[in-house]
Every structure is written in structure tokens, then in C-alpha cells.
Chains A and B, each alone.
Chain A
Amino acid sequence: MRILIADDDITSRTVLAGVLKKEGHHVEAMVNGAEAWQALQQPDAPELVILDWMMPEMDGPEVVRRVRAFETERPPYILMLTARGEKADIVAGLAVGANDYLAKPFDLGELRARIEVGRRMVEMQAALIASREALAHQATHDALTGLLNRRAILDRLNRELSRACRNCDSLAVGMCDIDHFKQINDKHGHQTGDDVLLGFAGILSGSLRPYDSVGRMGGEEFLVIAPIKARTDSVPLFSRLCSRIAKSKIMTRSGTLSVTASVGVTSATGGREADQMLEAADAALYRAKQEGRNRVAHDGRCIPDTSGANSYADA
């Protein structure tokens, strides 16, 4: 474990650092409170701190106060070192935010035990942060494909619309729907259908430019958001995507399959609501399906896929 210790007395500091190192800890030794505070503001500061109470420049309570006021995901576990029998110091130290205390000179068994308590708390904190992050990921990602889920891609759409409006840029969205997906499920079963969704998601995300986004709206429907320069035709972008999909092979448990997709595209240069864009993209998608699938339809126009065009990734 990485432990920061601060003590102005070289004898006490040497003993504490020596023992902790012997116990297998990595020790950073500071000679006063100001040095400790400096080190604790670094992004990879040690997670456990042993702080002498009475120090020149900045005393223990002041360091604790500052550390506790400091915004961080991972606040350190602080053990204060107090002279034996100084109850008032212990109470004051715990009140400003120390986690525990150790009487000085320390008893080796007690030092070990209190560090073990600290280690448990630090681990618990790390586990909590990890599970919170996992939950946040689950809340924003589709479990099957790992793409952004419906809510997250719609959030992204709103953000990108505001950004496009601010920068006077355009935003194109493409509603991509796998053609005849039901037939795949009926013929090969749902697990193969899942394999196709997963492979399709891989083709989409592998085709995006770094600043594009893709999410799964539900079922076999995916939304691609592509920021473009104002007055640029967004259709070629999606046509290339369409032909890339048609040319790709998807490995499934029922063997290699190919699919095509229909894409409904709309674009906006600020001032449009996400709902309006989705509605227009849906209407265009409907038309692409009507016109025979495996093609891109844009608001008013319908452009059949001319296979053999460059892939989207080459854009």
C-alpha cells in the first residue's frame, strides 16, 4: 500500500518509515504539514496518510481540513499521530475529518491493525467507485452490442445539436435499420440474430470518424450522428456506410451471414429539435424501405445504393 507520512521529528519519522517499509508498504516521508498538503494534491497521491499532529508550518488539523475541503474522487484515509493521553487532540482531529488515530510512540501491533482498518476502508471506497462506474456504464450502454443505448444516444444528439448551432455547423443523423432482420431470427434463431446485431454494431462503430457517434435505438435500429460542415451533402457519407455493410461478412453461430441496411438521413444547421430530426429520419427510413431497401433516403430525396462506392471508413 502507498502510505504518506508526515512528521517533523526525524527520529519518529525514521522509525515509522522503516517499519512501514519492512511491512511491504511504499512510503513517502514528508518533514512537515505543508509538504504533506502539497503531495496530497497530486492526482496519484497515496491513499493512506499518517500525520503527526503538532508540526511547524502547517499542523496536522490544518492539513486534514484542507484535504477534506479538496474535491477528489478518492479522499485519502487519514490516521493522526498524537502524543499519549491527549484526548482533546483526538476529538479535535476526528472532528476535522481524520479517520482514526494512533498514540505516539506507536505500538507495532496497533499500527498494523489500524493500517489494516485503513486498507479495508480504502478498498471499500475503490469498490464503491468501481461499482458506481459500472452502473453508470450500464445505464448508458446497450448490454448486447456495447454501443450507447437509446437514452444516451439521444442525449448525445441534443448535445451535438447545441454544439452545431453554436459553431454554425451542420449535423446529419442516419437512422439505420437492418433489412429483413425478422427473417434471420425466424430462419436461424434469436441467438444468431444477436450475433448479427453484434456484428452489425461492430461494422457501424468501425466505420465512424472519431467525432461521429452511434447508438442502438432498439431492436435492429441504430442511430448514427455525424457532424458535417454547413451546406455539405451528408448522403455520400451514409451511402458509403450502406455499401460497406452490404459487402461485410458477419460471423455468427450459424455461419457467415451478410445483411443490408436501409438508412433514413436528415440534416440540420441549428434551430431544429432532436424530435423533429428523428421524425424526419424515420420518415426517410420508411421511404428507403419502400423504395426497395439497401439504400439511403434523405428527407425529400431517395438515392439508391450504388454498390462499389468507397467505404465510409475511407471518407
Chain B
Amino acid sequence: MLERLMNDEEMARVVIEIFLEDMPCQIDSLRRYLDASDASGAERQAHLLRGAAATVGGEALCELACEMEKAGKTGDLGFVAARMDDLERQFLRLKTAMKKAAHCEGTSPCAS
């Protein structure tokens, strides 16, 4: 991600801050689409999660969101619901990795 941000560490710090703050709301929002049995809403929401994860280089999270998006597209909300805990876990792992990286200079802050 740092490369995409023209090696601007300050910008990377801001982006990560925004990502970490926004992500829990977006995950909640996906849960609400599930509760409402809204497959296209869930698909769109998983797509957003996937895009955000890809942007900060969170590959595992991105891959999981991608699978959920595909399931949403086919209307398989059961699959999406079954992966929710996994999604939370992956996000927390990414968050920990980012916080750790932010403390040791010189390493990419978004290596997951």
C-alpha cells in the first residue's frame, strides 16, 4: 500500500486510521443485511469490505470478503452468515498487524 501512496508514510497512517475506524461499522452493516435477508445488500456490502481490504493490502480479509460477495450474488446467505466470525477474526488480526507495524519503523504498516 505504501507504494500506492507514493511512499507517503503520513498518508498511509491516515488511511490505516480511517480503515480501522470504519471497518467495524461496515462489518455491522453486513450483519444487518444478513438479518434482513437482503442478499443484494449483503453482496454490495461484502464488495465494499473486499475493496477496502484490498486497498490496505489485507489479502486474507480481502479473499474472505470476496467469497462472501460471490455467495451473496448467488443468494447463499447461509454461507455469508457462517463466515461472519471468521471475518471478524481476520479483521482483528489485520488490525493487530497494522498496529504492530506502525510501531516498528521501516516495515510496511499493512503487512498481514
Contacts and interface: CB of A to CB of B under 8 A. Distances in A.
B13 to A, nearest CB: 11
B87 to A, nearest CB: 16
Given A15-B5, A22-B6, A22-B8, A104 B15 contact: no
Contact of A15 (B15, B22, B44, B47): B15
Contact of B18 (A8, A10, A19, A105): A10
A11 B6 contact: no
Nearest to A107: B4
B3 A108 contact: yes
Nearest to A8: B48
Given A11-B52, A105-B54, 9 more contacts: A9-B51, A11-B55, A12-B51, A18-B14, A83-B51, A83-B66, A104-B51, A105-B4, A105-B51
Interface of A: 7-12, 14-15, 18-19, 22, 52, 54, 56, 83-84, 104-108
Contacts of A52: 51
B40 to A, nearest CB: 10
Contacts of A10: 18, 22, 52
B111 interface: no
Contacts of B19: 11
A106 B4 contact: yes
A14 B47 contact: no
B47 A54 contact: yes
B55 A12 contact: yes
Nearest to A59: B44
What does DSSP make chain B's interface, helix, strand, loop or mixed? helix
B11 interface: yes
B4 A22 contact: no
B48 A19 contact: no
11 contacts: A8-B48, A9-B48, A11-B18, A12-B55, A15-B11, A18-B8, A22-B8, A104-B51, A104-B54, A105-B4, A108-B6
A11 B53 CA distance: 9
Contact of A83 (B1, B11, B22, B50): B50
Contacts of A83: 47, 50-51, 54, 66
A7 B4 CA distance: 17
Given A11-B22, A83-B50, A19 B55 contact: no
A56 B40 CA distance: 10
- In the A-B complex, the 3 residue pairs with the smallest Cβ-Cβ separation, listed nearest first, are A11-B52, A11-B19, A105-B54
A82 to B, nearest CB: 10
Contacts of B5: 15, 18-19
Given A19-B6, A22-B8, A14 B14 contact: yes
Nearest to A85: B66
Contacts of A12: 51-52, 55
Which of A11, A19, A22, A106 has the most chain B CB within a 10 Å cutoff?
A: A11
Interface string B26-42: 10000000000000000
Contact of A19 (B4, B14, B44, B50): B4
Contacts of B14: 14, 18
A102 to B, nearest CB: 12
A18 B5 CA distance: 8
Contacts of A56: 44
